Structure 1
Amino acid sequence: MTAGTTIQIPRFRGEAIVPGHHEYDAARAVWNGSVDRHPRVIARCRGTADVASAVRFARDCDLEIAVRGGGHNVAGTAVCDDGIVIDLSAMREVRVDPVGRTALVQGGALWCDVDDQTQAYGLATTGGIISHTGVGGLTLGGGIGWLMRKHGLSVDNLVEAEVVTAGGEIIRASTHEHPDLFWALRGGGGNFGVVTSFRFALHPVGPTLTAGPVFWAAEDTTDVLRFYREFVTDAPDELMTIVRLGTLPPLPVVSAELHFRPAIAVASCYAGSVEAGERAVRALREFGAPLVDLVGPTLYVDHQSSLDGTVPHGWHYYWKGTNLAALSDAVIDIVAEHAYEATSPRSYAAIFHIGGTVARAAREATPYSGRDVQHTMSIDAVWLPEQDDTIRAAETAWARSFVDALQPHRAGVYVNFLDADDDPSSIHEAYGDTTYRRLAALKAKYDPKNVFHHNRNIPPGTPA
């Protein structure tokens, strides 16, 4: 297709953006700046009917389909080469029912949209730890976040979804309608259709709670991790913690002389009263000799967006992930050895504490398979767009070496942490044999031609 060529999508009221359009380059850009793909058309949808029209058009023209919600997937699955991007980014409405404690969220919404609207009523549901993450991608993969130990994963709070199928039909999925599809959507990724809206259960949260990170020098890593292991053993469900290993980010509240100093942090969020939260994190704040202590009463919406500036749109990202059954001495030694070997001061590793409500949910209730592990880990290589291929090679090699060293202790992987070069077997690993076969059978039912395959793909299997 030549620049400036127009495309007419039948019964489509949105905007069809093609090469040569003044918004084309901005529209094809995603969060990960290392992704540089050129679709034939970007169908920016106004609503569900547009999505259905775009799917039917793509089928009729035999076009590769990518689906864009927030565009935050590290593998860049939201955009494809020489195909169609079904772009939901203009569909960001959030409608809160404060009496029924639910929120109806359009498929292109970001978590900041959800938090802003729900917190107006003192309510929230489990969302990502970065507020510009898309609701759709995070939810369809499982949805880990600050509230999960108290209120479950995003998928545990999903009560209904509106879906455009591979045939361009609009259906609803819930425990009462298409319950098999509803099960698959709660962790099976974007394999089964385009979700144009989600309805979530909400819970009383905040608006002010105890949250924030404590930083220690990198040389204290082993001691901090061994203390942390004991600290979280009997942690209440309300307390969620994330370990971050890398450097002190150049935040305005951090002294300039500490910027980019190698450090380990334990960030916490207590989904309860400020007073109870202060008691719950007191031992953590008093351990050793912290470099910086930023824990205190914080608005939930501010805490949800506090890390946004450390991972902005347009930087280059490369991830490796693994689940960990436990923080054994051997794992701690590997983490301490590898965490600070990155070349870029922006690279880091994060360890998420699971357990609580997540661990108590029925294993067969959703495809998400990480309920039996104590931690899930993401190793995130980060570098700037202007840095050369030498830095890119060094950072990706660091992430691979780090995850390879943890291989003997691997206990599966979270599907949302898989990058583009992860072996397809990792997708199978993310679910386990039984769940994967069930997902493949449902794929055969709802998308037998694998129309939606530009994702962490599960090919159609034997129909159940």
Structure 2
Amino acid sequence: MTVGVGEHIDPGSAEYDDARSVFNAMIDKRPAVIARCASAADVAAAIRHAREQGLEIAVRGGGHSVAGMSTTDGGLVVDLRAMSSVDVDVAARTVRVSGGATMSHLDRALEPHGLVAVGGRVSTTGVGGFTLGGGTGWLDRKFGLACDNLLSVELVTADGELVTASEDENSELFWALHGGGGNFGVATSLTFRVHELRSITACLLLWEPEAGEEVLRAYRDLIESGPDEASGGAIYLTGPPEEFVPEQLVGNLTLLVLVTFCGTEADARSFIAPLLALSPAAEVVMELPYAELQCMLDDPPGLRNYWSAEHLASFPDEAVSAFTGAVSGMLVPSSSQHVLFAAGGAAGRKNPTYPLPWRSAPWVAHPFAMWTDPEDDERAIGWTRAVRDAVRPWSTGAVYLNFIGDEGADRVRAGFGTHNWDRLVAVKREFDPENVFRLNHNVDPS
């Protein structure tokens, strides 16, 4: 099968099984062809070919979609991984990123210049899908969401045309790309504003799980009264076999509090003094390059995944108790994580008109189940849903769609905001009236 001018992989190719695999091992789909694109022209040719042949189209950047939206059974995958270049303009404080680049490509390109872009919380995430969904990470309390720093996008449409979206060109499309995901085309390059940040301080503090309520209350109070420079998360996990982890926590349920601080180690230590006063079982406080922080908590590929989230309008003591109580069904030992992320700050104050109704929530509960044995599927999925149920009384009802799988049309509307829906549909009808790009949290033009 000939697909444009890029490399193509079909089920008879030796590399097919490797090329079709995605981050979530629960997803086992078999595309008819994988078009490994090296340019926007390749992307356009692949789209035209798929449409001529009546093939469903999936778009793959990092392959992290927990719902498996970056692949398809019997269709064509537009694989952007060969398009991973990053071009830094130090003088202008901007960076141009190709559509298949990961956070690691971006972070490592900026690091020599003492510059950072707002990224996620692991290095293997694809920049494109992350940003088009809004993009939240360790720096959004300081610099806003990833999409707040987006200056322009080059996009191949459902007709195979290359268009540019910015504040001055296709401005309604540009608005929709701030949270609307992959509904409107294939992003072949994105240009961002970047920021000077030579280093960041990471504070990792570990406790026995029984200390959870006291520690979480102190962490909540610290972040809510602290500066935008402070962020992080409280994470219940299985204690890893690392040198800094006490023997009694290895392989057992552990509470890890990560405070990230855009400042020196001395300033960070002063800030976290209330947490240090609670006698953590272990502590690691270190100033390091942002790119190193970004890969510190990388999740291993090849595991079964089921994620969800609730964005919390507040986190009172009753919510603390509900959150800590819900940890009881968590899979331990496993790579599962029971997470409370700090949000708000600059991300909550910027650009309220974008289709991101979740951005104002100061806290995010994110149950993140990861496991290996299919026999644990029901238990892992049940636990994830139980966490959502436990904290729902404090939920805003909105949700960051990059944090969830396929949870139905109501959750999609909650991700975009009902008040944004008609406007998103209008943009969809202009750029993809036949819903060619439907393997996403879909805005149906009909």
* 1:150 and 1:357 in contact (8 A); partners too: yes
| 1:4 match | none
SS at structure 1 position matched to 2:260: strand
C-alpha contact (below 8 Å) 2:5/2:45 kept by paired residues? no
- Aligned residue in 2 for 1:214: 205
Is residue 2:51 matched to residue 1:63? no
Alignment-derived partner of residue 431 in structure 2: 446
The separation in 2 between residues aligned to 1:374 and 1:58, in whole angstroms, is: 43
Q: Work out the CA distance in 1 between the residues paired with 2:80 and 2:101.
A: 8
Distance 1:437 1:283 in 2: 47
Out of 288, 291, 294, the residue aligned to residue 304 of structure 1 is 294
Choose the corresponding residue for 2:72, options 80, 86, 89.
80
SS of residue in 2 equivalent to 1:233: helix
1:8 counterpart = 2:34 = no
Determine if contact 1:344/1:383 at 8 Å carries over to the other structure: no
1:209 Cα deviation after fit: 2.3
**How many corresponding residue pairs?**
444
Matching residue of 1:105: 97
Residue in 2 aligned with 1:140? Answer: 132
Q: Which residue of 2 aligns with 1:357?
A: 346
Q: What CA deviation, in whole Å up to 9, does each residue of 1:67-98 have, x standing for no partner?
A: 00010111111101000000001110001001
1:416 — aligned with what?
Answer: 402
In the TM superposition, residue 294 of structure 1 has moved relative to its aligned partner by 1.5
The aligned residue for residue 397 of structure 1 is: 382
In the alignment, which residue of structure 2 is the partner of 1:278? 269
Q: What pairs up with 1:322-401 in 2 under 5 angstroms?
A: 322-345=310-333, 346-364=335-353, 366-384=354-372, 387-389=373-375, 391-401=376-386
CA displacement at 1:344 relative to structure 2? 3.6
| Residue number in structure 2 paired with 1:3 | none
Q: CA deviation at 1:153?
A: 0.6
Partner in structure 1 of residue 441 of structure 2: 456
Output one character per residue of 1:289-313: Cα deviation in whole Å (capped at 9) or x when no partner: 21111222222221110011xx211
Matched, 1:228 2:240: no
Whether the aligned pair in 2 keeps the contact of 1:450 and 1:460 (CA below 8 Å) is yes
* RMSD of equivalent CA atoms: 1.4
Identity between Structure 1 and Structure 2 (%): 39
Q: Which segments of 5 or more consecutive residues in structure 2 lack a partner in the other structure? A: none
Structure 1, unaligned runs of 5 or more = 1-6
Q: Please show how residues 312-327 of structure 1 align to structure 2 within 5 Å.
A: 312-327=300-315
CA distance, structure 2, for counterparts of residue 276 and residue 221 of structure 1: 25
Counterparts of 1:110 and 1:343, CA distance in 2: 29
**Does the 8 A contact of 1:376 with 1:414 survive in 2?**
no
Distance, in Å, in 2 between the alignment partners of 1:171 and 1:426 is 30
Deviations 1:3-27 (CA, angstroms, capped at 9, x unpaired): xxxx112xx2211100020010000
User: 8 Å contact 1:39–1:80 — kept in the other structure?
Assistant: yes
Kindly provide the amino acid, as one letter, of the partner of residue 283 in structure 1. P
CA contact (8 A) 2:425 2:445 kept: yes
Residue of structure 2 in register with 1:295 after alignment: 285
The answer to whether the 8 A contact 2:331-2:369 is kept is: no
Please tell me whether the aligned partners of residues 237 and 332 of structure 2 are also in contact (alpha carbons under 8 angstroms): no
Q: Which amino acid aligns with 1:354?
A: A
Q: Does the aligned pair in 2 maintain the 1:344–1:382 contact within 8 Å? A: no
Secondary structure in 2 matching 1:378: strand
User: Is contact 1:212–1:303 with CA below 8 Å preserved after alignment?
Assistant: no
Q: Helix, strand or coil for the counterpart of 1:294?
A: strand
Alignment of 1:29-68 (within 5 A): 29-68=21-60
Aligned residue type for 1:392:
D
User: Contact (CA 8 Å) 1:43, 1:87: kept in 2 or not?
Assistant: yes
The equivalent of 1:128 in structure 2 is 120
- State how far apart, in whole Å, the 1-side matches of 2:190 and 2:266 are: 34
